[in-house]
Amino acid sequence: MPARPQCDDQTRVTDQCWTMASPVGPVAMAASQHGITFVDRLPGEDVFVARYRSRFGRDVQWTANPSVELVAAIERLWNGDEHAPPSIDLSGSTPFDIAVLRLGQTIPRGQVRSYRWIAQALGKPTASRAVGGAVARNPVPLLIPCHRVVRGDGVIANYLLGHDAKRALLRLEGVDLAALSNRSWELGFRS
């Protein structure tokens, strides 16, 4: 990833944020000049701005006119078209987190994988907890589908946007939540 340009206060580039409807209700989204940086349930504009500053150490400004192309790419992704995803800026994430999240992007719609599966795929078979931490720090849930990552015993586990949202997203994608405990999904089969 290219290094973010250093700016003084007079030339500071301010990230943009906006609200939009999502498959789990209204969300706030923010983007830098490199892509979407943050997605969160809309906790209120001031709270979103404070969370953004705390997490990224830079300002964000509300806009009523986000990029039409970016919004269209987001909506296509939410409608199942994963071939032209929106640009995502993970520059605030660690290399390990980025590796976990990029692998998470490869989980097909309608399928799930375990934290252990991701750890093994990364060549770190004992790093399931670290994978869980990386998934929990995903700054762009709904865009990088961490809702498709579950515990090895089929338990859905936590989700950044809430347990109910994770269940709703999995059901929307056709995952049989009752069948998760049979573990056939861990081999890559549709659950």
The phi, psi pair for 40, rounded to 5°, reads: -150, 155
Place of tokens 């405990």: 181
Q: Which residues contact 140 (CB under 8 A, 6 or more apart)?
A: 36, 37, 38, 39, 88, 90
- Residue 150 or residue 191, greater confidence: 150
pLDDT value for 184: 54
Please say if 7 is a catalytic residue.
no
Q: What is the mean pLDDT of residues 104-127?
A: 94
CATH class for the region spanning 95-187: mainly alpha
pLDDT for the residue numbered 156? 86
Q: pLDDT averaged over the chain?
A: 86
Average pLDDT estimate for 173-188: 71
Catalytic residue among 73, 74, 134, 146: 146
Total-model pTM: 0.84
129-169 residue pLDDT tens: 999 999 999 999 999 999 999 988 888 888 888 889 999 99
Q: For residues 93 and 101, is the Cβ–Cβ distance under 8 A?
A: yes
Same CATH topology for 1-92 and 95-187: the answer is: no
Measure CA of the first residue to CA of the last residue in the chain; give whole Å: 35
Q: Which of 154, 157, 155 is nearest to 146 (CA)?
A: 157
Domain ranges of the chain: 1-92, 95-187
Q: What is the average pLDDT across 50-67?
A: 92
- Residue 3: pLDDT above 50? no
Q: CATH: 3.90.1570.10, 3.40.50.10310, 3.30.160.70, 3.30.450.20. Which one for 1-92?
A: 3.30.160.70
Does residue 187 register a pLDDT over 70?
no
Q: What pLDDT is stored for residue 6 in this prediction?
A: 39
Q: Which of 57, 24, 64 is nearest to 40 (CA)?
A: 24
More confident residue, 158 or 118: 118
Tokens coding 109: 């719609």
Report pLDDT for 82: 81
Residue given tokens 């089929």 in the structure block:
154
